[in-house]
A and B are shown apart, each in its own frame.
Chain A
């Protein structure tokens, strides 16, 4: 578990490399209840103009969340967390996609609230914008 003494403005969070395959999306569909066929059916996805099956935006958001929670230690310390979905994560079969997630401390309030800026990219292209979180980091 980190404490405030571990955190400075500009502190870089350990980054995450996430392989995403179709099985991940099927599993996430079941767990989340989002069964939109664009996330598992190539025929359907291409029929609505997508290049292929795409990942749930919320799956990507959850992976970025994992970066935060594994850094801070207490998942309940994530008070605010928001993203904008800018580009779909295309998940071809069988190769899948690799999501790279990074984060950096943007500011620290006197009450120990730490604002983190996050990024998520696939093949060097940003898939989320305005990805930000506020986490509560204990003083000791």
Chain B
């Protein structure tokens, strides 16, 4: 066994200890963080706030669909 194998085995054992529902929560957290970031992000100076708002709504919708998919499937 090489040092690379030792590192791999350690990480494998560590990650195998994570239950699948917790892994699903990790996926949902990533999507939720992206959603919150999009919703809270204000327009840049010089941008049309109305157009940016429309863009943010579509971006948020895409992420909400993702959250539903990863919650249900």
Same complex: no
Interface residues of B (CB under 8 A from A): none
